[in-house]
Structure 1
Amino acid sequence: MEEKYYEILSKLEEADAIVIGASNGLSISEGIHIFADNADFQENFGDFREKYGIRSIIQGCFYSFPSQEEKWAFFSRMYSYFLYQKKEVSPVMKNLYELIKDKNYFVLTSNIDDHFRQAGFPKDRLFEIEGNCSNLQCRSGCHDSIYRGDDVLSEMAQSQEDGKVPASLIPKCPECGGPMQVHLEVDHNFLRGESWQTSYQAYQDFINKAHGKKIVLLELGVGARNQLIKAPFMKITSFEEKATYITFNRGSELYIPEAIADKSIGIDGNIAEVLQQLAKMK
């Protein structure tokens, strides 16, 4: 295993470009499991579980709440849970940032917890495909702007009573005066406006500029069925002569097709422990 770690470090060091692909497995390694009805969920969202039968954070994101006061109680609670009840940047994200901070890198993620920004990854190197819990948009998409929601989400999280937030705190669109929502892909209203398109284009530009160079595709906790990240990473690995595909996952989720096996390195294990070991060896 140590030999694999040194090979990974060598590939990262030699790389002209590193693309990080991150999904739910990375969050799980931090102690956040949005699909689980576990003790952590029950401790932090037990009232929603009891009242509405919600059994996970992701189910809550798609739940049709009976009122805006209740809906914003859930989303502001989720925001606070992701970013403040965890108190600080996790060792997982610190170690990842230390590994690649001095390199030419870009992040592609389907995670919604805003932990990359929190850990210091700059916005212009980050494409959050499905949005994140900190941003707000007009629900009707009357205009393209995405707004930071930290202040109002934090205030709503602290002002909840009986599973509701005060109606006076519910955000309104500054353009049309209509309702807003968290910028997450939970319904057909998800805005792929100017901000989203800019991030998408930055990702495409990064890939195009890396063509023909030594590129590392570093995949962290991406499930076998997550084609948003896995499919393009495997395609790039296949077509780019100098590409290396590195994937960290557990058990059956660690999938490397035979077609790119000679250009790939897979680590089956706890992502938190793997990143800690790599950071230590670096």
Structure 2
Amino acid sequence: MEEKYNKILTKIEEADGIIIGASNGLSISEGIHIFAENEDFLEIFGDFRENYGFRSIIQGCFFPFPSEEEKWAFFSRMYNYFLYRDEASPVMKNLHELVKDKNFFVVTSNIDDHFSQAGFPMERLFEIEGNCRNLQCSHGCCDQIYPGDEVLSKMAEQQENGKVPLDLIPTCPNCGGPMQVHIEVDRNFLRDESWQRSYQAYQDFIENAYGKKLVLLELGVGARNQLIKAPLMKLTNAEIHATYITLNKGRELYIPDAIAAKSIGIDGDIAKVLQQLVEMK
């Protein structure tokens, strides 16, 4: 195993560019599992489980709540659960330490904003499915995303009996209509100017990496998450000097034969692997 770690560190050190692809497995390594009916879910969202029957955070994100008061009770509580810490987790700190001095770009389907919290600059970050701390008009009346920290924090603090006070429920500053968290849970998801700018920055990074020493560092991306996985594997296959490094657990660790010779896979706890890599750096 130590030989694999040394090889990973060498590839990162020699890389002209690093693309980090991250999904739910990275969040799980921090202790957040949006697909699980675990102890955290039952403790924090147990009343929603009892009242509505859904068994995970992700199911709650797609649940058709009967009122705005109930909808915002859930989403503000989710916001608070993701971001109650004032600082980044040890997992995210270690990841940042591993790549901070390199030319990198992050593409992620995680909505918890933990990358920016850990010091990853927004101009090097593409959050494909949005971010739990931002708001948008549910009708998409305008190309505008709004910061939601203040109102989400208040709603998380002041909710009672699974509802938030009516006077705290946000409305669109432009049309006066209902709002929602800017995450991709329906067809209303707004790919606004900032989303388009991040997408273009991601494409530009790939374009500038052609022919160079490239590391594709995939963290906790499940086999079904082709939104992130497929482009990284395709790029690995196409680029002569590319190396595909994937950290995951069990059956989720997948390396196709076509890129096996250019790949390094570690089956294990991402938190422990990142800690070991930073200690050996």
Q: TM-score, normalised by structure 1?
A: 0.98
* Deviation of the 1:192 alpha carbon: 1.0
C-alpha distance in 1 between matches for 2:134 and 2:114: 13
* Deviation of the 1:145 alpha carbon: 1.2
C-alpha distance in 2 between matches for 1:116 and 1:167: 32
Aligned to 1:222: 221
How many residues align? The count is 281
1:241 aligns with 2:229: no
Matches within 5 A, 1:169-180: 169-180=168-179
* Deviation of the 1:88 alpha carbon: 3.2
Matches within 5 A, 1:34-113: 34-84=34-84, 86=85, 88-113=87-112
Q: Deviation digits for residues 23-73 of structure 1, max 9, x if unmatched?
A: 010000000000000111001111111111120000000000010000000
One-letter identity of the residue aligned with 1:206: F
C-alpha distance in 1 between matches for 2:245 and 2:61: 31
C-alpha distance in 2 between matches for 1:152 and 1:119: 23
* Deviation of the 1:87 alpha carbon: 5.1
C-alpha distance in 2 between matches for 1:161 and 1:40: 19
C-alpha distance in 1 between matches for 2:143 and 2:165: 27
Secondary structure at the counterpart of residue 110 of structure 2: coil
Aligned to 2:279: 280
* Deviation of the 1:148 alpha carbon: 1.3
Matches within 5 A, 1:135-150: 135-150=134-149
Aligned to 1:155: 154
C-alpha distance in 1 between matches for 2:86 and 2:208: 37
Secondary structure at the counterpart of residue 188 of structure 2: coil
Secondary structure at the counterpart of residue 153 of structure 1: helix
Secondary structure at the counterpart of residue 164 of structure 1: coil
Secondary structure at the counterpart of residue 111 of structure 1: coil
C-alpha distance in 2 between matches for 1:126 and 1:161: 36
Aligned to 1:184: 183
Secondary structure at the counterpart of residue 226 of structure 2: coil
1:114 aligns with 2:131: no
C-alpha distance in 2 between matches for 1:219 and 1:280: 20
Aligned residues of 1:108 and 1:129 also touching (Cα < 8 A): yes
C-alpha distance in 2 between matches for 1:26 and 1:160: 30
Q: TM-score, normalised by structure 2?
A: 0.99
Runs of 4+ in 1 over 6 A off after TM superposition: none
C-alpha distance in 1 between matches for 2:174 and 2:81: 30
C-alpha distance in 2 between matches for 1:47 and 1:120: 34
C-alpha distance in 1 between matches for 2:211 and 2:138: 42
One-letter identity of the residue aligned with 1:156: M
One-letter identity of the residue aligned with 1:218: L
Secondary structure at the counterpart of residue 245 of structure 2: strand
One-letter identity of the residue aligned with 2:23: S
Aligned to 1:20: 20
Aligned residues of 1:247 and 1:254 also touching (Cα < 8 A): yes
Aligned residues of 1:97 and 1:121 also touching (Cα < 8 A): yes
Deviates more, 1:5-14 or 1:141-150: 141-150
Q: Deviation digits for residues 142-194 of structure 1, max 9, x if unmatched?
A: 11111111111001100101111111111111111111100011011001121
Aligned to 2:6: 6
C-alpha distance in 1 between matches for 2:49 and 2:234: 41
1:266 aligns with 2:265: yes
C-alpha distance in 2 between matches for 1:88 and 1:38: 24
One-letter identity of the residue aligned with 2:90: P
* Deviation of the 1:228 alpha carbon: 0.5
* Deviation of the 1:235 alpha carbon: 0.3
Aligned residues of 1:144 and 1:195 also touching (Cα < 8 A): no
User: What RMSD in Å do the two structures reach over aligned CA positions?
Assistant: 0.7
C-alpha distance in 2 between matches for 1:250 and 1:93: 18
Aligned to 1:208: 207
